[in-house]
A and B are shown apart, each in its own frame.
Chain A
Amino acid sequence: MTQDTHWTGDVNDVVIEEWKGETSPFERVKEVLLATTSFQYAGEIADRARVSEPSARKHLTTLAESGFAATDTAGQGTRYKRSTESIAIQRIRDIHSTLSREELTEGIRDLKSQIQSYREEHDVTDPDDLALELEPDDDGWAAISHWRAAEENLDLAQAALALYDFDPGMAENEKAGSSDASRGAFAENTDDLSA
């Protein structure tokens, strides 16, 4: 079995050392960046990734150039977060390659109906309004999380569906007599794009 079972010391310190031992500074910066949803300075990301600040800055520049990081230069230096577009494209690709046009259409109908139910049940038009209304002890916080997800998933599903109508590969597939024409243009390509 594994020798790790009987670690010495605090498990929280042990996992940090293990992470540092198994990954390169670049991999850690990328992992941390991909979990960064609001802008942070390179120094903050360096602390979280357990790398030096110059190292973080260098890798973040690379990640911004390759489209994984969004940058903000309005303040005292550059701030970074994960690219919303990069995350969305990965999800759209995944959804498009897995679900048929019919499945997507049905999923979109279901999501719209969910969103409508949230609106009717809580008598507000979007989850932000509901969040403003709620006190900590109130019911409804779980609904806000689900509702936010439903709004995003609806946008992604609609983008994935639109890809079925923008499909440069389709004509060739038909010529080749593809038996799986209900699948999307990326159906053969299910490479995992995540880190």
Chain B
Amino acid sequence: MIPDETHVGISDEELSGDIGPPDPSIMQTIRNLFCQEEPLVKDATFDSVLQPSELRLQFSDGIDTAEWCRLDVTWFRSGAYRFHYVDSEAVNWRFDRHPNPHSPEKHFHEPPDAHDHTAVESCVTVEEATLVARAVLKLWRRAYETGNVDQLNTAENPS
């Protein structure tokens, strides 16, 4: 049986190159970082022991009126990645890096729907897994504390 490829990782329609398999070792580093740095992370688990393809970071609160949120993270051997946010209000957004037919390699699928076929250039330009994770966490936290997703993909703070 082939697993449902539409729900985990990057969808076929969005992908136009060889990104290698998911890298559980790097995802473990990302897991440790989120657990250390973010007190709202209450659970951090892999989807499978034998076939780990996604790290699920469950937060005990969400942005604005959302009661909870989750970041689904896949890091691939090539350095490609996917950080997908979803919350109890069904708001979705996603920081991605991978070859694709629709936008720059590093791109951001905007809230509230994070459409597969439309994305804008990402404000995250660092490339090391530990730095990308830190950047996504900071951008998430600013949105959480301001209750506003409009600035998610803005690297600078408004003065």
| Smallest Cβ-Cβ distance to A144: which chain B residue | B18
Say whether B22 contacts A137, CB under 8 Å: no
* Chain B binder among A56-64, A71-79, A105-113, A166-174: A105-113
Distance of B110 from chain A, by nearest CB (Å): 17
Q: Which chain A positions have C-beta within 8 A of B10?
A: 142, 145
Instruction: Assess whether B103 is interfacial by the CB under 8 Å rule.
Output: no
With contacts A11-B123, A12-B124, A111-B51 taken as known, whether A141 is within 8 angstroms of B15 at the C-beta atoms is: yes
Q: Which chain B positions have C-beta within 8 A of A2?
A: 141
Cα A96 to Cα B2 with chains together (Å): 23
Say whether B2 contacts A48, CB under 8 Å: no
Cα A82 to Cα B50 with chains together (Å): 21
Say whether A194 contacts B32, CB under 8 Å: yes
Q: Which of A91-150 contact B (CB under 8 A)?
A: 91, 94-95, 98-99, 104, 107, 110-111, 113-114, 117-118, 121, 131, 136-137, 139-146, 148-150
Distance of B50 from chain A, by nearest CB (Å): 4
Distance of A133 from chain B, by nearest CB (Å): 12
Instruction: Assess whether A10 is interfacial by the CB under 8 Å rule.
Output: yes
Q: Which chain A positions have C-beta within 8 A of B1?
A: 110, 113-114, 117
> Does more than half of chain B's interface fall in helix, strand or loop, or is it mixed?
loop
Number of interface residues of B (CB under 8 A): 51
Instruction: Assess whether B150 is interfacial by the CB under 8 Å rule.
Output: no
Chain B interface residues toward A at CB < 8 A: 1-3, 5, 9-13, 15-26, 28-29, 32, 49-51, 53, 76-77, 79, 99, 101, 123-126, 128-131, 134-135, 138-139, 141-142, 145, 155-157
* Given A11-B155, A145-B10, 20 further pairs, Cβ under 8 A: A1-B145, A4-B138, A5-B142, A5-B145, A8-B157, A11-B135, A15-B126, A15-B134, A16-B126, A107-B50, A114-B1, A141-B15, A141-B17, A141-B19, A143-B12, A152-B21, A153-B50, A194-B28, A194-B29, A194-B32
